[in-house]
Amino acid sequence: MSTLAPPRPEAAQPDKSPPAEVKRWVPSSRWAWALGVVVLWIGIWALTKGNDTLALAGRERTGVQDALAEFRDKVIASRGDNPLIQLTYEIGSGFTSLVDWLQRMVSVENFPRPVPEIGWLGVTAVAVWIGLAVAGWRIALLIAASFVSFGVFGYWSDAVDLLIVTFVAVAVSVLVGMPLAVLMGTGNRAVNAVMTTFLDVFQTIPTFVFLAPIALFFGIGASGAVVATLLYALPPIIRVAGHGIRTVSATTIEATDSAGQTRWQRLAKVQLPMARRTIVVGLNQTTLAALSMATIAAFVDGPGLGQPVLDYLKTVNVGGAFVPGVLIVVIAVMLDRTTTAASEYGERAARGGVDLKRRRIVLAAAAVPVLVCLYMSRTYPWAAEFGDSTWGPRLADAVNDFFGWFTDNFRDLTQGFKDLTSAVLLNPLESLLAESPWWLAAGALLLLAFVLGGLRALVPTLLCVAGLLYFGLWHDAMITLNMTLVGTVLVMVLALVFGVWMARSPKLDLVMRPLLDAGQTIPPFVYLIPVLALFGITRFTAIVAGVVYAAPVAIKLVADGVKAVSPTTLEATRSTGSTTWQEIIKVQLPMARASLVLAANQGLLYVLAMAVIGGLVGAGGLGYDVVLGFARSEEWGFGAAAGISIVLLGIMVDRIARAAAQKTSR
């Protein structure tokens, strides 16, 4: 997380104000130029709108989209003799076999045995014992409650399947990612630059876009789900663990090198142990990323809770989707708290804060009931398979009744908010972006990139704009960009209000911080469920879901940036008689400008990710195009072009925002 360093006290003194004003005016002039570009754009748009928009009519397809469809057909036809395709399918087959074996062990019947090899009671007991061993009794209780809830609400098999896919993907991510993290942490600047570029691209790609090429090369089902989850979960462990290794104190390394240690000894005995805490943070982020992607993988028939969520969303059954959605949240919170607590418990044990002898005795004693539970789960049907439960259907009915009551009584309010936002922001901006001639919109975007970020933003924007034109979905890309920008505006409004409030009120920060942390652990798929109930199947549903998804990280960035402003500077401002409003507007927000730009950057990417998923609920644009490519095999080339266009759009807005943030920081 990037925040401004606290300024020196003398920077706020009145006699130093002229230099400070000059520094503030430089970035302001960039925004003035940007405003000028927008005004010029609007003027030309008023004369040319509706011409050369590059909108495709009906089933019309470009040559590039047809070529992508032909590529897919060639890949399918060459599965028998193409070594690369054979290799990818062998890898996928290996993942499928592993997942299938684990499922038959703990979640589905292992024919001719009508139940799994280890029933729910044994699985729960083993999971609780592991939690006790790595993180203590509080986490053990959390795990017990979580596993029992899977069965009580009627989704034991789906929940355990989701955990299986997540754990397989995380295990492979660690095996592949840790060597790359070591290379990144110990390599030279050129190696870091190359790896950082690849990681940036992978983390900019919305989750949905991973699915089409992976389904093509690895197949659908467990294989596609594991590979998609693996690729999405890999960057965090590489980036975070590599950062931890690279930032180990140079003085410590020099001191140990003087003893004549080898490079391997330095890594194993100094760098990895000292970077342990950061590595665990990377593992935590990888686990949550894997869980998030494992739910999206339901689109390629991946096992887990994503399947019932998707099935109920298709029929707009909010209550039915709510129950498995809540269980996904339960899994996310359980994994997040377990990995964090395991790191803290391990550090405490390393410092001698844990009685190891007593710990061994407790674990040995706890193993006895675990063995008993394993025996019972293999012997008694009630301990092997959860019986039918009415809790899930009853909760689903209650949720449907609540949302029915809410929409009946607050329909005018929600509809009014939707209509107001559409009239003020959504419709005018969509008209400007999507109804401008392509050459006008492209030129305006290039000028804005140069004004805000210089050549660092102009070059990638030029490449991305060229790519969007090449793949033939310019009009739909502008519709998606419109939804993303509107969503980002709403995110930043929330971030400014709550971020500044949290920074100025420690009590509110204490209350809001856990809620925001919980919000960041919820997979994006789940956000669609309540928003769908409130706003129905419209593009506005996708925007609001994106706002809810992106708001936590943006609020925290703004709060931390404003909080980092020096108390000495604030005291000097108050001594001149400034009001609270003047203090916020003229001191805290300008000095936290870099954090505000970073919050806008993250908001853009999060909202863009949800705009794609929103294609399921009438969002239109590139998201709908990708979903269409999945639903109809004859539209695969069209959907693939849309997926690539989303990647280009994400990279473009990311690079513009990053370059603007770097200029602002300087």
The pLDDT value recorded for residue 6 is 34
The pLDDT value recorded for residue 147 is 95
Q: Which listed CATH number (1.20.1250.10, 3.40.640.10, 1.20.1250.20, 1.10.3720.10) goes with 82-389?
A: 1.10.3720.10
Q: pLDDT above 70 covers what percent of the chain?
A: 94
Residue whose C-alpha is closest to residue 123's, from 138, 102, 139: 102
Q: Please check the confidence at residue 443 and state whether its pLDDT lies above 90.
A: yes
Q: Please check the confidence at residue 192 and state whether its pLDDT lies above 90.
A: no
| Candidate from 214-223, 312-321, 548-557 with smallest mean pLDDT | 312-321
List all residues 6 or more positions away from 374 whose beta carbon is below 8 Å from its beta carbon. 118, 122, 125, 126
pLDDT in tens, 81-120: 888 888 888 898 999 999 999 999 998 888 888 888 898 9
Token look-up 């009014």 returns 416
Ordered by start, the domain boundaries in the chain are 25-50+403-665, 82-389
The pLDDT value recorded for residue 2 is 36
The pLDDT value recorded for residue 665 is 59
Quick one: average pLDDT of 156-174?
92
**Alpha-carbon distance 206 to 611, whole Å?**
9
Residue whose C-alpha is closest to residue 539's, from 602, 486, 490, 472: 486
Q: Please check the confidence at residue 183 and state whether its pLDDT lies above 50.
A: yes
pLDDT in tens, 510-526: 888 878 877 776 777 77
Check residue 588 and report its DSSP letter: I
pLDDT band of 167, cuts 50, 70, 90: very high
pLDDT in tens, 606-661: 888 776 677 777 677 888 888 888 778 788 888 889 888 988 888 888 888 878 77
Q: Does residue 75 or residue 2 have the better pLDDT?
A: 75
506 touches 562 (CB < 8 A): no
Q: Please check the confidence at residue 5 and state whether its pLDDT lies above 50.
A: no
What is the average pLDDT score of the chain? 83
The pLDDT value recorded for residue 22 is 36
Topology of domain 25-50+403-665, CATH: MetI-like fold (1.10.3720)
Quick one: average pLDDT of 561-573?
81
The pLDDT value recorded for residue 567 is 80
pLDDT in tens, 295-343: 778 888 888 888 888 888 777 788 888 899 889 889 988 988 888 888 7
The pLDDT value recorded for residue 4 is 35
* Residues counted in the chain: 666
pLDDT band of 27, cuts 50, 70, 90: very low
The pLDDT value recorded for residue 489 is 87
Query: Side chain identity at 166, as an amino acid letter?
Result: T
Q: Please check the confidence at residue 160 and state whether its pLDDT lies above 90.
A: yes
Which alpha helices (H) appear in 219-317, and where do they start and end? 222-246, 250-257, 263-266, 272-274, 276-296, 306-314
Token look-up 């409130």 returns 534
pTM for the model: 0.79
The pLDDT value recorded for residue 28 is 55
**Alpha-carbon distance 522 to 536, whole Å?**
21
233 touches 293 (CB < 8 A): yes
pLDDT band of 261, cuts 50, 70, 90: confident
pLDDT band of 156, cuts 50, 70, 90: very high
Q: Does residue 70 or residue 299 have the better pLDDT?
A: 70
Residue whose C-alpha is closest to residue 279's, from 243, 248, 229, 234: 243
**Phi, psi (rounded to 5 degrees) for 338:** -70, -45
Query: Side chain identity at 387, as an amino acid letter?
Result: G
The pLDDT value recorded for residue 15 is 41
The pLDDT value recorded for residue 219 is 84
Question: Cis omega (within 30 of 0) on the bond before 112?
Answer: yes
Q: Please check the confidence at residue 485 and state whether its pLDDT lies above 80.
A: yes
Quick one: average pLDDT of 563-568?
81
Q: Does residue 262 or residue 421 have the better pLDDT?
A: 421
Q: Do domains 25-50+403-665 and 82-389 have the same CATH topology?
A: yes
The pLDDT value recorded for residue 521 is 67
- Phi/psi zone of residue 385: left (φ > 0), alpha (ψ -120 to 50 degrees), beta? beta
pLDDT band of 13, cuts 50, 70, 90: very low
